[in-house]
Amino acid sequence: MKKATSKVSILTLAVGLLAASIAVSPAPVHADIVWDHWQKAESLRAEGNQAEAVPHWQFLANHYARSGEWENAALFCGKLDAYYDAIGNYDQAIYYYELENQYWVKAGRDWGAVKLQRADQIRTTIELYRTERDSSELKRQALPQSGRLAKFEPAYGTYLGMYSEQDPKVGNLFTKTESVYGKNHAIYLAYAHWGQGFPATYAKRAKEAGGALQIAWEPDDGLDPVADGTYLRKWAQDAKAAGIPIFLRFAGEMNGAWVKWHGNPAQYIAKFRMLHDVFATEAPNVAMVWSPGDVPANDIDPYYPGDDYVDWVGVSLYIEPYENGDPSLPTMISTSNVERLTRLYNTYSDRKPLMLSETGVPHYSHAADEDFTEWAKLNLQRLYEIMPYKYPRLKAITYFNVDQKMTNAKNDYSLSDSSEIQTYYSKLIANPYLLSKVADGAQPSDKLGYVPVNANHQAFTKQAEFIPFVKIPDVYIGKVDYVLNGRVIASQTDLPYGLTLKAGEVPEGSVMQIKVYNKAGAQVALRTYGISSQVSVELDGKELTFEQAPVIRNGSTLTPLRAIFEAMGATVEYEAATRSVTAKKGGTTVKLTLDQKTVYVNGQARQLDEAAQLVNGYTLAPARFVGETFGGTVGWDGSSRTVTISKK
């Protein structure tokens, strides 16, 4: 269950840095150019003229970095990033926040973590994702380096999970989830404690709902009592008897000092490995989940048990308006959940699928008596749309559906407490990409996935949904404009952001701009993307896939000849010496030569509108000729730019 964390506050860090700054001031005996810059900078700062102090701070930061005096280098970067942040020059502030962190790391300190957090808070981000129909591409980007899926891992897509026991509309009767939120969930979360029996009732109710069970198994008395024996073997046998997939999250958040199993990585690893071996023998339906908290980040890796003992890597990852629910601390509303996963993802996703084993976005702060519905909606979209698309190895999300009232961080994460949040959540999770059934190699029912719009993923077929990830230092967004080839085609002021375009609306070589405005109506961000549509081909209602996409030449649609002919049951031969193609089916023989408009069907000459051509090593010919040659009926849907061929 979510606990108050021991993160270092910005205020606390500032006090520590000030003390460190005083401690490392150079003695007057070193009166030289460095001392002159130091004195001048301090004099200007004392006069309130920080702008003129900047060149001196820059000199000092560079000097100490060159000499390897990392603490001093970090301290002067700290002065620079604070100055640039205060005047709203966020690009320069981010540069120095990141540089300061690098220097603290070199100095053997973890004081830069909060600076990276601030850099992410003020970073302007516009990323664009779109639907993709090519399942082979979706599977490729969602695979680990080994090419082998883990136990219960979907081929692509993200399992939908929930902790609902404290939800008054669901409780632990998981079969109610569909009626309340419009969709069954794949994973239900239960908590268990070492020394107590296997939570059979929760497993039974998960099975009734067609779901799997995530069990957060916590050794409340620490790791010493965790041992192989009758209790553990019986627990494992009961897990097997449950007859459902189980994700076993043993001793989670072990990197945090707030749990009793923190502090001895070697012991933790030994206990985790022992459990893995027991469950591998007794309960093959159990997947072992190693699940730290996302903070403190520097204490995560020492607890990793090793690839041979971990099936999934999980993480407890929360955001909140105020750190630890304390309104007296600086606000945290500029923090988005997306960046919080980056470090863990970059470290482990090449090897293991990731899950958010606990996560949540509060819509109300009890401590501040303040409503955060708009902020929650912004970050719920990021949680259920942006994060699964940005991180294709993120294969499960379990939501902590609890109103904490005045305990722990004093936030209301409950989805059903607010009808607006409940409706919004239901809308987000309706997407088939969020999977409602655990199975090895599972994938969305509509076979669609998502890719980033970039140089490798500009072109789409039929139609595509475009989802922007937009983040600005102002936090709240006033409007998002979508500009296609110089014309505003949509404006959005309400969440969730995104639009759908048909292929016929997007000619080859189109340009999409995303313009972002703050609540005051000022444009604060702009990003430009190249996008295009491609012609698609359907044969008897089934879309064909090609290594070389169809192209338009002089107004004619040229389609891959061999792929379509063979799909229609013809045999195809190519003679390189004469650059000719011969295709046969039944009593019909077709012969054509590249770059010549005359073709021969059973010896009779016919003229093509456009000659067959070699494109990237593939023979393409006019779509109507290819479709009709062996008796097919050819049609054209201009809105989706689809050639339809019926051979029935």
For 499-538, write each residue's pLDDT tens digit.
999 999 999 899 999 999 999 999 999 999 999 999 999 9
Check residue 8 and give its pLDDT.
Answer: 39
Distance CA 396, CA 160 (A): 6
Helix (H, G, I), strand (E, B) or coil at 548: coil
Bond before 496 cis per omega within 30 degrees: yes
Q: At what angle do helices 90-106 and 70-86 cross, to 10 degrees?
A: 160
Q: What is the pLDDT of residue 545?
A: 87
* Cα-based distances in Å from 589 to 4, 562, 572, 629: 76, 14, 10, 9
Question: How large is the C-alpha radius of gyration of the chain?
Answer: 30
Count other C-beta atoms under 10 Å from residue 226's C-beta: 24
| Inter-residue contact 190 to 199 (CB < 8 Å) | yes
**Separation between Cα atoms, residue 328 and residue 523, nearest integer Å:** 32
- E strand map for 174-309: 187-193, 212-218, 246-250, 286-290
* Cβ neighbours of 74 (radius 10 Å): 27
Nearest alpha-carbon partner for 358 in 256, 277, 243, 268: 256
What are 132's strand-pairing partners?
A: 449
Question: What pLDDT, on a 0 to 100 scale, did the predictor assign at position 26?
Answer: 52
The model's pTM: 0.91
Can you say whether residue 521 is alpha, beta or left, with left for phi > 0 and alpha for psi between -120 and 50 degrees? Answer: left
Q: Which residues pair with 601 in a beta bridge?
A: 590, 604
Residue 473 corresponds to which tokens in the numbers above?
A: 């230092």
Task: Give the distance from CA 625 to its chain's centroid.
Answer: 44
Distance CA 497, CA 274 (A): 47
Among 253, 320, 323, 339, the active-site one is: 253
Classified as helix, coil or strand, 627 is: helix
> Burial letters for 579-613: b for 16+ Cβ neighbours within 10 Å, e otherwise?
ebbbbebeeeebbbbbeeeebebeeeeeebebbbe
**Residue holding tokens 């750190």?**
323
CB 210 within 8 A of CB 187: no
Instruction: Decide if 471 contacts 125 (C-beta within 8 A).
Output: yes
Please tell me the predicted confidence (pLDDT) of residue 10: 40
Q: What is the DSSP string of 460-485?
A: EESEEEEEEEEE-TT-SEEEEEEEET
Task: State the number of CA atoms in the 13 A half-sphere of 632 facing the CB.
Answer: 27
Query: Nearest Cα to 276, choosing from 303, 243, 306?
Result: 306
Q: Are 144 and 352 in contact (CB under 8 A)?
A: yes
Considering only CA atoms, which of 346, 352, 118 is closest in space to residue 247? 352
Other CB atoms within 10 A of residue 534 CB: 18
Give the single-character DSSP code of 322: B
Collect the ranges in the chain with pLDDT lower than 50: 1-24, 27-29, 31
Task: Fill in the amino acid letter for 319.
Answer: I
**Rounded Cα–Cα distance for residues 160 and 415 (Å):** 14
Take residue 527 and report the two structure tokens written for it: 């990003």
Report how far residue 19's alpha carbon sits from residue 384's, in angstroms, rounded to the nearest whole number: 43
Catalytic residue list contains 358: yes
The catalytically annotated residue of 100, 320, 323, 358 is: 358
Given this model, what pLDDT does residue 110 score?
Answer: 85
Residue 13: its pLDDT value, please? 44
